[in-house]
Amino acid sequence: MKAMVLTKTCRILDDRKPLHFKEVPDPVAGNMEILVKVSACGVCHTELDEIEGRTPPPRFPVVLGHQIVGKVEKTGPMADRFKAGDRVGIGWIYSACGKCRFCLKGDENLCNDFKATGRDADGGYAQYTTVSEDFAYKIPDAFSDSQAAPLLCAGAIGYRSLRLTGIKDGQSLGLTGFGASGHLVIKMTKHRYPNSKVFVFARSEKEREFAKELGAVWAGATEDQSPEKLDCIIDTTPVWKPVAHALRNLASGGRLVINAIRKENTDKDYLLNLDYPTHLWLEKEIKSVANVARQDVSEFLQLAAEIPIIPEVQEFSLEQANEALVELKERKIRGAKVLRIED
Ligand SMILES: [Zn+2]
Ligand SMILES: [Zn+2]
């Protein structure tokens, strides 16, 4: 099969083509696995973290990609949850031990043996991939393959982030950073918490306009003061400056949820601006989001179909994966980026 393969970590703006288009052996479905013919795979900021070594793959070469939509090509000898031809999705969670105290209470995203699709196992920047049948999801009919792809990560982790804010209807929500996840969170919030006002902090005027179109009551720059103090804020940026400004904009007892697998250290000094009374006192909280559990993905897919949330997507071919990643790095964001994988 054809795949875009990563052979080593590097800085993407130095080496703008970190992935190599190659012919590699077809994967084979194990006992309880399914072989999936990939038709769409979302491009996620986490891929940049993998390429640049902030969350490096444990082995090379590796095929990245964890927002996978495709059709079941073959089922393993003992796999019976799906049949050939079924449309399925695969997300960031590739496997977890199933036995530890985290797994047993549904927090498999925190499992010490958590394995990620497209990092610990080959993912979807390829024509085929395999996964345990228990870690694949049925995709609701409301979505095309490309539309469903970003729901599997940006959507599912946005859903988890929103849940972790502890928001109640009527409480105000801030979003700092307005990429693929922010678009989806704003739609979810309007549906689930119709009396909550959403405030968006974004770097570009275009993003701010887009946020208002989607229903934000206010949109400003990262360093702006929101017109009122906010009960909760979700940060989806890869850097530190927005964290400091978000803490300042939080109301007493407010919570900042950081939805990022890693932060880049380029502006870490900005944290020296933290002032205890301004940014932390009055029982402000900070919580991070780690991975997703299967429940987040399946609940979110249902919710997205019900609302409905149809993400805006920008399509690339498999061979254009490097371009999509460079655009993401340079924050050229026009909807969620998705690779369309042809036969
Ligand atoms: Zn992702
Ligand atoms: Zn576990």
pLDDT at 335 over 80: no
pLDDT class of 316 with cuts at 50, 70, 90 = very high
pLDDT for the residue 100: 98
Please give the distance, rounded to the nearest whole angstrom, from the Cα atom of residue 283 to the centre of ligand 1: 31
**331: pLDDT strictly greater than 90:** no
210 or 343, greater pLDDT: 210
Q: What phi-psi label fits residue 312: left (phi over 0), alpha (psi between -120 and 50 degrees) or beta? A: beta
Is there a contact between 264 and 238 (Cβ–Cβ < 8 Å)?
yes
**Is residue 195 predicted with pLDDT exceeding 80?**
yes
Q: Which domains does the chain have, with CATH numbers?
A: 2-153+291-340 (3.90.180.10), 156-288 (3.40.50.720)
pLDDT at 36 over 80: yes
Kindly identify the ligand whose nearest atom is closest to the C-alpha of 160.
Answer: 1
* Closest ligand relative to 115 C-alpha: 2
Q: Ligand 2 centre and the CA of 132: distance in Å?
A: 15
Per-residue pLDDT for 333 more than 80? no
Q: Each residue of 9-25: pLDDT tens digit? A: 999 999 999 999 999 99
Strands 250-258 and 230-235: parallel
Q: Say how many Å lie between the CA of residue 156 and the centre of ligand 1.
A: 9
Task: Provide, rounded to the nearest whole percent, the portion of the chain with pLDDT above 70.
Answer: 100
Q: pLDDT, tens digit, for every residue of 218-247?
A: 999 999 999 999 999 999 999 999 999 999
For 155-164, how does the pLDDT look when each residue is reduced to its tens digit (9 = 90+)?
999 999 999 9
Alpha carbons 231 and 225: distance in angstroms, whole number: 14
pLDDT of residue 179: 82
Distance CA 284, CA 1 (A): 51
pLDDT above 90 for 267: yes
Determine the pLDDT at residue 108. 97
- pLDDT value at position 181? 84
The contacts of residue 281 (CB under 8 Å, 6+ apart) are: none
CA 327-287-198 angle, to 5 degrees, is: 65
Q: How far apart are CA 6 and CA 20, in angstroms?
A: 7
Ligand with minimal distance to 50 CA: 1
Q: For residue 120, how far is its CA from the centre of ligand 1 (angstroms)?
A: 14
Q: What average pLDDT does range 162-191 have in this prediction?
A: 94
Which ligand has the shortest distance to the CA of 158? 1
Q: Is the pLDDT of residue 200 over 80?
A: yes
Q: Categorize the per-residue pLDDT at 332 as very low, low, confident or very high, splitting at 50, 70 and 90.
A: confident
Question: Please, are residues 124 and 145 in contact by the beta-carbon 8 Å criterion?
Answer: no
Q: Which two structure tokens, joined as six digits, stand for 52?
A: 């640049």
Residue 340, classified by CB atoms within 10 Å of its CB into exposed (0-12), middle (13-18) or buried (19+), is: middle
How high does pLDDT run on average in the chain? 96
Distance from residue 100's CA to the centre of ligand 2 (Å):
4
The reported pLDDT for the residue numbered 246 is: 98
Nearest ligand to the C-alpha atom of residue 114? 2
Residue 66 CA: which ligand is closest?
1
Ligand in nearest proximity to the CA of 291: 1
Q: Which ligand is nearest to the CA of 105?
A: 2
Q: Note the pLDDT tens digit of each residue in 42-62.
A: 999 999 999 999 999 999 999
Ligand 2 centroid – CA 67 distance (Å)? 22
> How much is the pLDDT for 124?
98
Ligand 2 center–CA 105 separation, angstroms: 10
Interval between CA 107 and ligand 2 midpoint (Å): 8
pLDDT at 230: 98
Ligand nearest to C-alpha 68: 1
Task: Give yes or no for a contact between 85 and 68, defined as CB atoms under 8 angstroms apart.
Answer: no
Q: How far is the CA of 104 from the centre of ligand 1 (A)?
A: 24
- What pTM does this model have? 0.91
Give the residue-averaged pLDDT of 79-85.
98
